Amino acid sequence: MQAAYTLGRQSHLKLLLNQQQPDQIARMMRYHDYVIEARANKFDEYRQTITRLNEVEPAIKNTVATLSAIRSDLEKKHGLLVDQQKQKELTLVRLRKTIKNKDDELRKLERDQKELEQVIAVVEDLINDLPLPNAYQPFDKLKGKLPWPLKGKVTNRFGATRKGRVKWDGLMITAEEGTDVKAIHHGRVIFANWLRGQGLLMIIDHSDGYMSLYAHNQVLLKEPGEWVQANDIIGRVGNSGGQQQAGLYFEIRYKGKPSNPKRWCKRA
């Protein structure tokens, strides 16, 4: 290599003139040609490599840009998945809370219904035979002719499922707070007090095993033992007993069993 470097700095003629032994110069020239040729080959390889690099570089840049876009898209999708997972977890928490609240509400309704049944059973045992007036019309003879306790919109269906195993034993009639509540038939007040789940409740006995119930009143205007006639004002509409909307809960019972009020009261 040193010889090639040295020879490369001189012309062939000068080399010939400077050398005393022709065979030596011939050998040196041959070595020189080998080195020059090898170097030229290397330069060609370098140029080819540079050309390939120049060709590959844009492709690499395109690939990098594509991978960057894919990575950005994956990061966005990952963020969406994380948000969806969090939303599902929150929904699950709310669902469990709702189920718990519904279970609590169901237990409360079952408890309230049981207490109402107990009150009805007690007052039935305490009822004495009613002294009936001369013009008294038996309750069962007025089926489909009795007046409604108030005018309003019925918001449920008798006998329909209310919650779980609890069914509607009467009708919920919405009306403005303070609206008069009237007795549907002659009878005697056998209960007028607060009852959990029913609010201010009045129960009127109509003899022969029939009674009517009026719940969620704002105020009760009759006392236990008092006699009432049909259309006498016995209370005012309210939302007592935990109701969100003002209205009257109305039942008719025969021997303690609920009966559909729509079969007894006049068609609106």
Question: Cβ atoms within 10 A of the Cβ of 127, count?
Answer: 13
Amino acid residing at 90? L
Alpha-carbon distance of 9 to 42, in angstroms, equals 20
Residues 43-75 pLDDT 10s: 778 788 888 878 778 888 888 888 888 888 888
Q: What is the C-alpha separation between 160 and 164, in angstroms, rounded?
A: 11
Whether residue 227 contacts residue 254, with contact meaning beta carbons closer than 8 Å, is answered with no
How many Å from the N-terminal Cα to the C-terminal Cα in the chain? 121
pLDDT tens digits for range 81-122: 788 778 877 776 676 665 556 566 767 878 888 888 888 888
Q: Note the pLDDT of residue 108.
A: 80
State the pairing for strand pair 233-237/247-254.
Answer: unpaired
Query: Residue 24 and residue 41: Cα distance in Å, rounded?
Result: 26
What per-residue confidence (pLDDT) applies to 254? 94
Q: Per-residue DSSP letters for 170-201? A: SEEEE--TT-EEE-SSSEEEEEEEEETTTEEE
Decide if 184 contacts 208 (C-beta within 8 A).
no
- For 197: left if phi > 0, alpha if psi spans -120 to 50, otherwise beta; the answer is left
Q: Which of 182, 226, 191 is nearest to 120 (CA)?
A: 191
Q: What pLDDT is attached to residue 131? A: 66
pTM of the model: 0.62
* Segments of the chain with pLDDT less than 50: 1, 4-5, 7
User: Residue 193 corresponds to which tokens in the numbers above?
Assistant: 């007090």
Q: Which among 191, 42, 78, 210 has a CA at the least distance from the CA of 141?
A: 210
Q: What pLDDT does 85 receive?
A: 77
